[in-house]
Structure 1
Amino acid sequence: MKNKLKTALGLFAMGSLAMVSCTDVESVEIVQPTVEETYPESYAAYVQALNEYKASDHKIVYAWFDNSEKVPQSAGQHITSIPDSVDVISMMYPESLAEFELNDMEEVRGKGTKVVYTVSVPDIEQAWVDQQFANGGDQSTMTSEFNAYLQTQLDALFACSASFDGVIVEFVGQDPTFMTETTLAAYEAKQNIVLNAVSTWKNANADKILTWQGKPQNLTDKSILTSCDCIILDIDDVEDTNRLMLTVQQALTEGVPTDNILIAVSTTPESSSDTSYGYWGSTRALGEVANWVSAGYPATDGFTRAGIAIYNVQNDYYATGGLYTYVKEAINTLNPAPTK
Structure 2
Amino acid sequence: MNRVFGLFVLAMVMVACDTEIENISLQVPVVKDAQYYENLRAYKKSDHQLAFGWFGGWKAAGTSPVKYLRNLPDSVDVVSIWGTWHSLTQAQMEDLKYVQEVYGTKVTFTIFSHNMSNFPGNFENVAENIPAVAKAVADSVFKYGYDGVDFDHECSSGDLFNKSVNMTTLLREMRANLGEDKLICVDGYIEKITEEGWKYANYAIAQAYGTTAPSFLQSRFNTVSKHISPERFIVTENFESLWSTGGAGYKDPELGTIPSLLGMARWQPEEITEKQHKGGIGSYHMEYEYNHTDVEYKYLREAIQIMNPAKK
TM range (shorter): 0.7 to 0.9
User: Over residues 71-115 of structure 1, what are the superposed CA-to-partner deviations in whole Å (9 max), with x where a residue is unaligned?
Assistant: 433111101011011111111121222222211111111221111
**Unaligned segments of structure 2, at least 5 residues:** 1-15, 119-123, 251-256
Counterparts of 1:10 and 1:196, CA distance in 2: 54
Is residue 267 of structure 1 aligned with residue 239 of structure 2? yes
Report the Cα offset of residue 159 of structure 1.
Answer: 4.1
Partner of 2:93: 102
Flag the 1:190–1:95 CA change in 2: closer, same or farther, 3 A. farther
Partner of 2:111: 119
Q: Could you tell me which amino acid in structure 2 is paired with residue 264 of structure 1?
A: T
Flag the 1:236–1:4 CA change in 2: closer, same or farther, 3 A. closer
Q: Could you tell me which amino acid in structure 1 is paired with residue 46 of structure 2?
A: S
Is residue 213 of structure 1 aligned with residue 177 of structure 2? no
Counterparts of 1:158 and 1:9, CA distance in 2: 47
Is residue 292 of structure 1 aligned with residue 261 of structure 2? no
**Unaligned segments of structure 1, at least 5 residues:** 17-38, 128-144, 175-182
Partner of 2:71: 81
Is residue 7 of structure 1 aligned with residue 5 of structure 2? no
Counterparts of 1:312 and 1:43, CA distance in 2: 30
Judge conservation of contact 1:91–1:118 (CA < 8 Å) in 2.
yes
Partner of 2:57: 67
User: Over residues 237-287 of structure 1, what are the superposed CA-to-partner deviations in whole Å (9 max), with x where a residue is unaligned?
Assistant: 6322122222222332x4344442111223364885xx8x93237853212
Counterparts of 1:334 and 1:201, CA distance in 2: 31
Partner of 1:34: none
Identity of paired residues, percent?
A: 21
Judge conservation of contact 2:151–2:186 (CA < 8 Å) in 1.
yes
User: Over residues 35-74 of structure 1, what are the superposed CA-to-partner deviations in whole Å (9 max), with x where a residue is unaligned?
Assistant: xxxx7xx610100110111111111111111135464331
Q: Secondary structure at the match of 1:5?
A: coil
Q: Secondary structure at the match of 2:184?
A: strand
User: Over residues 111-162 of structure 1, what are the superposed CA-to-partner deviations in whole Å (9 max), with x where a residue is unaligned?
Assistant: 211111122225x5998xxxxxxxxxxxxxxxxx754799597666554212
Q: Secondary structure at the match of 1:251?
A: coil
Give the RMSD, CA atoms, in angstroms: 3.9
Flag the 1:326–1:228 CA change in 2: closer, same or farther, 3 A. same
> Which of 43, 47, 52 is the aligned partner of 1:53?
43
Which moves more between the two structures, 64-73 or 89-98?
64-73
Q: Secondary structure at the match of 2:305?
A: helix
Report the Cα offset of residue 14 of structure 1.
Answer: 4.5
Judge conservation of contact 2:19–2:36 (CA < 8 Å) in 1.
yes
Counterparts of 1:6 and 1:267, CA distance in 2: 33
Partner of 1:169: 151
Q: Secondary structure at the match of 1:314?
A: helix
Which moves more between the two structures, 165-174 or 98-107?
165-174
Q: Secondary structure at the match of 2:279?
A: strand
Counterparts of 1:233 and 1:292, CA distance in 2: 14
Partner of 1:160: 140
User: Over residues 178-213 of structure 1, what are the superposed CA-to-partner deviations in whole Å (9 max), with x where a residue is unaligned?
Assistant: xxxxx89x9788433333233222212212112222
Number of residue pairs matched by the alignment: 279
Counterparts of 2:307 and 2:230, CA distance in 1: 19
Q: Secondary structure at the match of 2:267?
A: helix
Judge conservation of contact 1:266–1:286 (CA < 8 Å) in 2.
no
Q: Structure 1-normalised TM-score? A: 0.68
Q: Structure 2-normalised TM-score? A: 0.73
Q: Secondary structure at the match of 2:208?
A: coil
Q: Could you tell me which amino acid in structure 2 is paired with residue 50 of structure 1?
A: L
Q: Secondary structure at the match of 2:175?
A: helix
Q: Secondary structure at the match of 2:296?
A: coil
User: Over residues 314-334 of structure 1, what are the superposed CA-to-partner deviations in whole Å (9 max), with x where a residue is unaligned?
Assistant: 111113456221111111011
Counterparts of 1:150 and 1:337, CA distance in 2: 48
Partner of 2:10: none
Partner of 2:175: 202
